[in-house]
Structure 1
């Protein structure tokens, strides 16, 4: 009962936080019929700045960290991405009315990672003075890329069974290239490289850190606007996608928490790091995933995987999963 009260209190606090408040505000303003729009170029620029900051901060920490400390969490990140795609694909394969390509694309998007959800969780932990290793955001590509690759390969295997044969090895190389060249991973990898091999501390403290939370609030507002607009698309597809989008983030986050707890026992992974691994697992890609899946699984209906992810998956990950796993860590670790 005490834990439930703690979660309820944290959930209400999260609703009042700038992160979720701007998300809800964006949805409400579209619901009211506003014609306000944010140019896509501004959206991409905000993503670039946020991920550059996350990458540089992680790279600076990696520079002085023991590689051995990262090894087990990185391996578990790969495992979580693969498990999520396999579970999602298995679920949708049981539904006769759901096309194979739609199911694999949705599973791939939920196996990939949302940088905005990651950023929101980091801000919350920093506000509450919960320690986490600064290299934890560097786990992003370890989960993101394997999930996208596996989803596309599974989709292609299903297509081959239907009689159309393609080169799986070629597709794997293509999706790796597309993922790395995408705006999200490109910015994150660049920030990591600068943090590891350069000395960007002055520009990080003087420019990126002061604007980080302000830019995050704008990003949440944009995602709220898009989430509401995608609800109409989601109405056009089977209700199973909505059910999956409601339950999957929580289940995936619990898988991440369980493996993070193992890493805590075996390698000293911090409780804050366990929370972030859980949130990464609970998130679903809103930047790198959609364009990669559109190119890799062109037969899939974007209304299924993007609609389910943006309309339901992201709000659940941010509004429910972040306070849920912070509260769970408080119960398990006493943080």
Structure 2
């Protein structure tokens, strides 16, 4: 009974319900929308918060033992490799064009913050302890997935194949991608500033996080609804 109660509680979380609200709004052809400028801000905020929290979690870790390092290593490795595996599978099983397949495949390496938050809430509800540095693994797994997804997309683009100059430019763009720089940069800032830095930014990165996440998922729900409507 506790299991089903926990599942129900998580499904009834505000973040998921706001996502559903966005889908329903599109179904009823509502004029509800989140402006593009707000959507961009939400993405920047969430990436900054995830990266910073991950860095702080690493700084708070008692020591860099082999267990911590192995978890980080395998997390990064799988995050980087999954898009390549997903891209191949999509090529074999679907009729999606190569660029779309690359975009979809990148999502298989990327981490869902909502899924993570739901799983964490589930563990907390059942009084199951887990390592705090797993938040750092979450942050570190985002960048490799974005990197490999962009790499696949650029490699399969007809205009970039066989053009050395163009490939150099695109390679530079991949490694200077804003999302990657922000995630890794925020991670480093959180790592260097530690818990003191987190205490200073608590009112910005911790308390409002769930609210911003709800707004972000409302936007995602609207986007999903428009694609299926």
Equivalence for 1:176: 175
Equivalence for 1:143: 141
Tell which has more relative contact order, 1 or 2 (C-alpha 8 A, sep 6+).
2
The equivalences for 1:103-122 within 5 A come to: 103-122=101-120
Asked if the contact 1:92/1:100 (under 8 Å) is kept, the reply is no
Asked if the contact 2:52/2:189 (under 8 Å) is kept, the reply is yes
Unaligned runs of 5+ in 1: 233-335
Alignment deviations for residues 166-211 of structure 1 (CA, whole Å, 9 cap, x no partner): 3456544431221xx22xx444334323322222233233443222
Match of 1:73 among 60, 71, 74: 71
Change (3 A) 1:21 1:197: same
| Secondary structure in 2 matching 1:67 | coil
| Whole-Å separation in 2 of the counterparts to 1:79 and 1:72 | 10
Residue 16 of structure 1 and its aligned partner are, at CA, apart by 1.5
| Secondary structure in 2 matching 1:113 | coil
| Whole-Å separation in 1 of the counterparts to 2:94 and 2:204 | 52
User: Could you say what the CA RMSD is over the residues aligned between the two structures, in angstroms?
Assistant: 3.3
**Aligned length, in residue pairs:** 223
Alignment deviations for residues 42-87 of structure 1 (CA, whole Å, 9 cap, x no partner): 2333333334333333322212322334311122123322442233
The equivalences for 1:84-95 within 5 A come to: 84-95=82-93
Equivalence for 1:247: none
| Secondary structure in 1 matching 2:208 | helix
Is residue 2:24 matched to residue 1:28? yes
Asked if the contact 1:156/1:166 (under 8 Å) is kept, the reply is no
Is residue 2:56 matched to residue 1:57? no
Equivalence for 1:189: 184
TM-score, reference length from structure 2: 0.76
Alignment deviations for residues 93-143 of structure 1 (CA, whole Å, 9 cap, x no partner): 324844334333321233233445445544555566543333323324543
| Whole-Å separation in 2 of the counterparts to 1:218 and 1:155 | 29
Equivalence for 1:37: 33
| Whole-Å separation in 2 of the counterparts to 1:195 and 1:163 | 37
Change (3 A) 1:95 1:166: farther
Is residue 2:190 matched to residue 1:230? no
Unaligned runs of 5+ in 2: none
